[in-house]
A and B are shown apart, each in its own frame.
Chain A
Amino acid sequence: EAQVTQNPRYLITVTGKKLTVTCSQNMNHEYMSWYRQDPGLGLRQIYYSMNVEVTDKGDVPEGYKVSRKEKRNFPLILESPSPNQTSLYFCASSLIRGNSYEQYFGPGTRLTVT
């Protein structure tokens, strides 16, 4: 089954404790992206990757890191989490065709930083 998986689905942590949220896709997509979803703000892009070893900042990259060492994986790293990073996080991937981008989303990771 074609899918994007994220782990963990739920995470409660404390300020300053490094964490990683994993994302994996099995569709051989070049493009992968991380978003955060906050009430009234929709989804805002954190980082994206056009292919292996190619990453770039989105709209809200501060406090986050990413890596793309393999095509299928795109982990999101919070080196020193803070309470303002409490949010719902989504990973997405897409196969770029022509002028249309359909993104496939993972189920989300709900992060709480106390």
Chain B
Amino acid sequence: GDSVTQMEGPVTLSEEAFLTINCTYTATGYPSLFWYVQYPGEGLQLLLKATKADDKGSNKGFEATYRKETTSFHLEKGSVQVSDSAVYFCALSDRVGANAGNMLTFGGGTRLMVKP
């Protein structure tokens, strides 16, 4: 079945540091890939997405590139802020095969803490 693996956290950075959160996946066909963010006490919000190989999703200074050859979708930001402190989830959606209609498969989440 489909699966998503994220680096374990927490990730602790100083403000303005460079961020990378690794995400790799296993899926049949050509899944769509997502990063969701969960701020404290809130539900998940879509941060960015990519629907085909080599697509780059971007939003709020965050970027991730769909790498089919390495089955990866790593999240990056050049300069993090305290307000970026949250839990980040990598996810995929696979419309083909037995999982059609089962929508999103999530990774375990990575907590990011940014210190001033």
Contact = CB atoms under 8 A, between A and B. Distances in A.
14 contacts: A33-B103, A35-B106, A41-B108, A42-B4, A44-B106, A45-B102, A99-B95, A100-B93, A101-B104, A102-B34, A102-B46, A102-B49, A107-B41, A107-B42
Contact of A45 (B6, B89, B95, B104): B104
A13 B89 CA distance: 29
B113 to A, nearest CB: 16
Q: Which are the 7 A-B pairs with shortest beta-carbon distances?
A: A105-B43, A42-B106, A42-B108, A43-B106, A105-B44, A101-B93, A107-B43
Interface centre among A4, A90, A105 (most CB of B within 10 A): A105
B43 A4 contact: yes
Given A40-B108, A42-B89, A103 B102 contact: no
Given A40-B108, A41-B108, A102-B49, A48 B102 contact: yes
A90 B44 contact: yes
Interface string B90-112: 00010100000111101111000
Interface of B: 4, 6, 8, 32, 34, 41-46, 49, 51, 89, 93, 95, 101-104, 106-109
Given A42-B106, A100-B93, A103-B46, 14 more contacts: A4-B43, A43-B44, A43-B106, A44-B106, A48-B102, A90-B43, A98-B51, A99-B32, A99-B95, A100-B32, A103-B44, A103-B104, A105-B45, A107-B42
Interface centre among B45, B102, B107 (most CB of A within 10 A): B102
Size bin of chain A's contact surface: 20 to 34
Given A48-B103, A101-B103, A43 B32 contact: no
B101 A50 contact: yes
